[in-house]
Amino acid sequence: MIVGILKEIKAEENRVCMTPAGVEVIAAHGHKVIVEKSAGVGSGFSDADYVKSGAEIVATGQELFQRAEMVMHVKEPLPSEYALLRKDQILFTYLHLAAAEELTRALVKSKSVCIAYETVQKTDRSLPLLTPMSEVAGRMAIQQGAKYLEMAQGGHGVLLGGVPGVDPGNVVVIGGGVVGVNAAKMACGLGAKVYILDQNLDRLRYLSDVMPANCFNLYSSPAMVRELIQRADVVVGAVLIPGAKAPKLITREMLKTMKPGSVLVDVAIDQGGCFETSTPTTHSKPIFAVEQVVHYCVANMPGAVPRTSTLALTNATLPYALEIATKGWKRAMRESAEIRAGANVVSGKITYQAVSQAFGLEYTPIDDLL
């Protein structure tokens, strides 16, 4: 199979979907790998690095789309790429379709085979291709929250860890999954007082065993959220419903009860955001304020640390990319429930139920197409 590695064109996105080391493995299994010129530069990988690993460099994304049987991306296709996708071509990337109706309809029209990293799911319900970026985003959430608490950045001037004789800051993490736990670890390490909210009691019991003493694990309810945000300095939105749009857990009205200069970090922004007032921002313009509460809503947070993110992403995606390339998408999906769960739009049909429900469009079980 011809596997194409695209250069990302989303604003300030410096990740690349595959390292030269990953390309070497794919090529060693008999596949041809083509890489768009300068695709890896933002992550510290030169075109020469890819050539040494067995890849061919192509000049443009258009040429890559024309030649590749499977196209790999980090972020979702942008409008300029919609028309480049063709029937039966495999697209393997993060898609987040439940918050992107225009993209969903474009992928349906293309009749391509669209496999989303974020919905590939193991039998234990873990999300192996979302996990590495969730780890990065969770840790970054606290770095960014701490920075924007500084008065010069629009915050109210609180040091999250405090100092001897002065109370530390309060961090509320809504969601006890991968993002939430990584955010809480970072906040606890700084010395903040941290609250994790989740509705899974087994998860809360586990967290109570493994998290440090300055982390308090509480059952999440609207009343608990309303109570805790009043004393919060940083709130991290870390709620995920796989493949579906994020629920709105903090309303505009609730912001009026928060401290002026406190910070909301919405890690769920890729899935529409879990705060009513969230709108996507960029690394160059990462924040805005509503009701004197700072909002950080960058939609590609891990893109700020592309070297780390690219290495972590390749570690996770490589086995799946290799399986799809070796077996073809139909056989790979028939033999792997994990890859089958990644099918979002296939041959003009929406094959992920949460996406069809988000826009009231017809759902077709992937098994009907295999």
pLDDT in tens, 183-234: 999 999 999 999 999 999 999 999 999 999 999 999 999 999 999 999 999 9
Instruction: Please tell me the least confidently modeled range out of 5-14, 133-142, 286-295, 323-332.
Output: 5-14
| Number of neighbours of residue 11 by Cβ within 10 angstroms | 13
- Would you call 192 helix, strand, or coil by DSSP? coil
Tell whether the model's pLDDT for residue 243 goes beyond 90: no
pLDDT confidence band for 245 (50 / 70 / 90): confident
Nearest 10 degrees: Cα torsion 20, 182, 254, 250: 50
Tell whether the model's pLDDT for residue 257 goes beyond 80: yes
What mean pLDDT value characterizes the chain?
96
96 catalytic, yes or no?
A: yes
Domains of the chain: 2-120+306-369 (3.40.50.720), 134-304 (3.40.50.720)
The side-by-side arrangement of strands in the sheet containing 56-58 is 56-58, 32-36, 2-5, 70-72, 90-93, 113-116, 343-346, 349-350
| Measured CA distances, 82 to 73, 91, 118, 308 (Å) | 13, 11, 20, 29
Tell whether the model's pLDDT for residue 306 goes beyond 80: yes
Task: Note the pTM of the prediction, 2 decimals.
Answer: 0.91
For helices 306-327 and 131-148, angle between their N-to-C axes, nearest 10 degrees: 160
Please give the single-letter amino acid code of residue 57: I
Which of 116 and 240 is assigned the larger pLDDT?
A: 116
pLDDT confidence band for 342 (50 / 70 / 90): very high
Q: Identify the bridge partners of residue 363 per DSSP, sorted by sequence position.
A: 350
209 catalytic, yes or no?
A: no
In the predicted model, what is the mean pLDDT of residues 149-173? 96
* Sign of CA pseudo-dihedral 123, 125, 126, 129: positive
pLDDT at position 240: 83
Contact indicator for 98, 271 with CB cutoff of 8 Å: yes
Q: In this predicted model, what pLDDT tens digit does every residue of 12-27 receive, in sequence order?
A: 899 999 999 999 999 9
pLDDT confidence band for 246 (50 / 70 / 90): confident
pLDDT at position 99: 87
* Sign of CA pseudo-dihedral 56, 57, 58, 60: positive
Residue 352 exposure: Cα atoms within 13 Å on the Cβ side: 33
| Measured CA distances, 52 to 20, 44, 55, 56, 122 (Å) | 8, 15, 7, 9, 34
Contact indicator for 20, 51 with CB cutoff of 8 Å: no
pLDDT at position 113: 98
Catalytic residue among 31, 49, 73, 96: 96
Round to whole Å and give the CA distance between 34 and 344.
25
Tell whether the model's pLDDT for residue 244 goes beyond 90: no
Residue 245 exposure: Cα atoms within 13 Å on the Cβ side: 14
Round to whole Å and give the CA distance between 61 and 48.
18
pLDDT at position 329: 97
Q: What are phi and psi of 363, to 5 degrees?
A: -105, 135
pLDDT at position 41: 97
pLDDT at position 154: 94
H/E stretch holding 90 reads: strand 90-93
Catalytic residue among 49, 198, 266, 270: 270
Closest CA to 185 of 203, 207, 206: 207
Q: In this predicted model, what pLDDT tens digit does every residue of 44-64 receive, in sequence order?
A: 999 999 999 999 999 999 999
pLDDT at position 73: 94
pLDDT at position 12: 87
